[in-house]
Amino acid sequence: MPVITCIDDLKRLYRRRVPKMFYDYCESGSWTEQTFRDNVNDFQDILLRQRVAVDMEGRSTATKMIGQDVAMPVALAPVGLTGMQCADGEIKAARAAEAFGVPFTLSTMSVCSIEDVAENSTAPFWFQLYVMRDEDFVKNLIDRAKAAKCSGLVLTLDLQILGQRHMDLKNGLSVPFRPTFGNIANLSTKVRWGLGMLGTKRRTFRNIVGHATGVSDLSSLSTWTTEAFDPRLDWAKVKAIKKMWGGPLILKGILDAEDAKMALKIGADAIIVSNHGGRQLDGALSAIRALPAILEAVGDKVEVHLDSGIRSGQDVLKALALGAKGTYIGRAFIYGLGAMGQAGVTKALEVIHKELDFTMALCGRRNLGDLNRDNLLVPEDFGGRWG
């Protein structure tokens, strides 16, 4: 068993254990991948202020996200096809999150369904909604999430159309997995993954198959997205969905202060500053650079969360010290899941928790609520020199 000390260790193991097609699906950004890279690299532009001779005993990373207790403000982001990274992946990730005390968010494009996750976990989870053209299907998804006692709805706003990720097209990404001459050779080296998949019945988009009508081709992700996702999604529809859901609403994919103000006006409980992990608008600002302007616009009136680019507890601390109230990890937990299943997701959370706790201590703080900009060295033009 290798000694895992950081998220990169999990990534290396993940790459070895999961078919290339699914590794590439995770580890890609759209087009030139500029935003995908910037998301990670821009965290390095912020430095931490080391403080000494501060009593470090009795530290806590516990806090709340949308009024719900969390062991640390690091939720698992919605990730489509998680159940192809590892058999029953969504159930395993939900269980790891539950045991750790952080929220799990189930994607509309998951392999395990809302019901699968609800039946196999006990803590309430959050459901992420993509808005489809088929309004009955959307209503049905919301009703199913209510029936499963989901405690938050994460409505994703930055994917009405799918950003092109070159490798998915080159690899012929499909669900269920279709062996081709090219990927069979690769598959033969992924015995653990293959055995897991043989041992489960959950191998397709179970939120959709048997629930949505009039979808002609579900096997090709890009074809299906083009056909089914609603390109007409606008603020009026967001408002209607808020009403239909009636519970805590988190709007995901906000990158601009003007959109943040709209989200506030609509009455969202929280927003996620996010560019979908660099998978949509290539050339957009990294999430961490976008955060200060959004906080300035709405930070005292709505809970602001952030994802995109977090690979360590230091990254989490930087977002919190800037003023975010919560964060999410996408790829960081998928690396763990693909590497070691549920234990790998737990490991990813442990790694990030330890880094967050130690970094907080060495910055001279005992509680996350005490963090602020004084803990950071932020370049004067960090928000951008672009105007």
| Active site positions, annotated | 276
Q: How far is the CB of 292 from ligand FMN (least distance, A)?
A: 19
C-beta closer to ligand FMN: residue 307 or 357: 307
Contact 309, 275 (CB under 8 A): no
Q: Is 363 in the site for ligand FMN (CB under 6 A)?
A: no
For ligand FMN, the closer of residues 274 and 312 by Cβ is 274
What minimum distance in Å lies between the beta carbon of 374 and ligand FMN?
Answer: 26
Q: Of these, 107, 174, 286, 359, which contacts ligand FMN (CB under 6 A)?
A: 107
- Residue 63 pairs in a beta bridge with 70
Measured distance CA(173)–CA(170) in Å, rounded: 8
d(CA 10, CA 339): 6
Residues in contact with ligand FMN, total (CB under 6 A)?
Answer: 24
Contact between 97 and ligand FMN per CB under 6 A: no
Q: Does 277 bind ligand FMN (CB under 6 A)?
A: yes
CA atoms within 13 A on the CB side of 61: 25
Q: Which CB, 205 or 375, lies closer to ligand FMN?
A: 205
Q: Residue 310, interface with ligand FMN (CB under 6 A)?
A: yes
Of 74-82, 94-102, 172-180, 318-326, which part binds ligand FMN (CB under 6 A)? 74-82
The residue number whose beta carbon is nearest to ligand FMN equals 330
Residue 309 contacts residue 40 (beta carbons within 8 Å): yes
Q: Which of 7, 72, 73, 80 binds ligand FMN (CB under 6 A)?
A: 80
- State whether the Cα torsion 83-89-93-95 is positive or negative: positive
Question: What are the φ and ψ backbone dihedral angles of 270, each rounded to 5 degrees?
Answer: -155, 160
Q: Is 205 in the site for ligand FMN (CB under 6 A)?
A: no
State in angstroms the smallest separation of the CB of 52 from ligand FMN: 32
Q: At what angle do helices 287-298 and 257-266 cross, to 10 degrees?
A: 50
Closest CA to 271 of 163, 161, 155: 155
What is the SS3 assignment for 216-259?
CCCCEHHHHHHHHECCCCCHHHHHHHHHHHCCCEEEEEECCHHH
Whose Cβ is closer to ligand FMN: residue 152's or residue 330's? 330
Could you say whether residue 79 binds ligand FMN (CB under 6 A)?
yes
Residues in 12-31 that interact with ligand FMN by CB under 6 A: 25-26
Sign of CA dihedral 194, 97, 295, 269: positive
Contact segment (CB under 6 A) with ligand FMN among 42-50, 73-81, 170-178, 291-299 equals 73-81
327: contact with ligand FMN by CB under 6 A: no
Asked if 35 is part of the footprint of ligand FMN (rule: CB under 6 A), the reply reads no
Which burial class, exposed, middle or buried, applies to 144 when counting CB atoms under 10 A from its CB (0-12, 13-18, 19+)? middle
Q: How far apart are CA 18 and CA 380, in angstroms?
A: 42
Binding mask 278-297 for ligand FMN (x = CB under 6 A): -x------------------
Q: Which is nearer to ligand FMN, 305 or 365 (CB)?
A: 305
Residues 215-254 that bind ligand FMN (CB under 6 A): 252
- Cα(377)–Cα(387) distance, integer angstroms: 22
Under the binding rule (CB under 6 A), the answer on residue 355 touching ligand FMN is no
d(CA 162, CA 280): 7
Q: Which residues bind ligand FMN (CB under 6 A)?
A: 25-26, 39, 77-80, 107, 109, 128, 156, 252, 274, 276-277, 279, 307-310, 329-332
